[in-house]
Structure 1
Amino acid sequence: MKSTTLAAAALGLAVALAAPVHADPDIDFANELHTYGIYGPRDYNAWLGKIVCERLYKGVDADADKSVRFITMNLAKGSTQAQAWQFLGASINTYCPEKRPVFEQAAEQHH
């Protein structure tokens, strides 16, 4: 289940990379989240996505699994594990693309 979830999130990341770039990354982030069925206040989700990246930069979350745990605690109740992985992929894609290796390494480990 975990590898399927991660594979779906990785596919979403690949699709998002092909998407056109807009002037407002927070709107693009919200639009990507909506494709995964993740809704909620746009400002909150953008803030959470940026915090996810900050935690990766500072080493608070040493790997993608720890980031997903943090995300899971902060997404709306009823959010799935797949959505937490998708949120991580969208966060990295939008706010810290240089952290993609963290996500890709997790995909390889769970494959």
Structure 2
Amino acid sequence: MTTLGRALAVAATAVAVMAGAAPAHADPDIDFANQLHRFGIYGQRDYNAWLGKITCKRMARGVDGDAYASMAFITKNLARGTTQEQVAQFLGAAVGTYCPDMAGALRGAAEG
């Protein structure tokens, strides 16, 4: 499995974890920020929430043809020095929080 494939497997796992976790707050943006902090991803909460939501919209509308394209979009919009694994974790957390119906795209990319 390639490094990118392993990163996507991490993202798919993050979605599974998010799906099984009961929300701690009524505000999904706070839950998303807390998830990102566990991965060592920081930054403005509103910006990260926007990036997670727009990533989901791009996936749903087919702007990003697959999970790899979504990761490229996220990479361009997160702080320099963010690792591939963190990008994959961000993607997994975004999908798990804002568009769990897109989880199949992550699993398919990780397996393919």
Structure 2 unmatched runs, 5+: none
| Whole-Å separation in 2 of the counterparts to 1:87 and 1:104 | 15
Cross-structure match for 2:63: 60
Give SS of 1:20's match.
Answer: coil
Deviation track 1:70-105 (CA, whole Å, cap 9, x = no partner) reads: 000000111001111111111111111111111111
The structural deviation recorded for 1:18 is 1.9
Give SS of 2:93's match.
Answer: helix
Mapped pair 1:31 → 2:34: yes
| Whole-Å separation in 2 of the counterparts to 1:92 and 1:11 | 11
Give SS of 1:17's match.
Answer: helix
Structure 1 unmatched runs, 5+: none
| Whole-Å separation in 1 of the counterparts to 2:29 and 2:69 | 23
The structural deviation recorded for 1:2 is 2.5
TM-score of the pair, normalised by structure 1: 0.91
| Whole-Å separation in 1 of the counterparts to 2:87 and 2:36 | 10
Residue 19 of structure 1, aligned match among 14, 18, 21: 21
The structural deviation recorded for 1:14 is 2.1
Cross-structure match for 1:4: 6
The structural deviation recorded for 1:43 is 0.2
Q: Percent sequence identity over matched residues? A: 58
Residue 107 of structure 2, aligned match among 97, 104, 109: 104
What's the Cα RMSD here? Answer: 1.2
TM-score of the pair, normalised by structure 2: 0.90
Cross-structure match for 1:69: 72
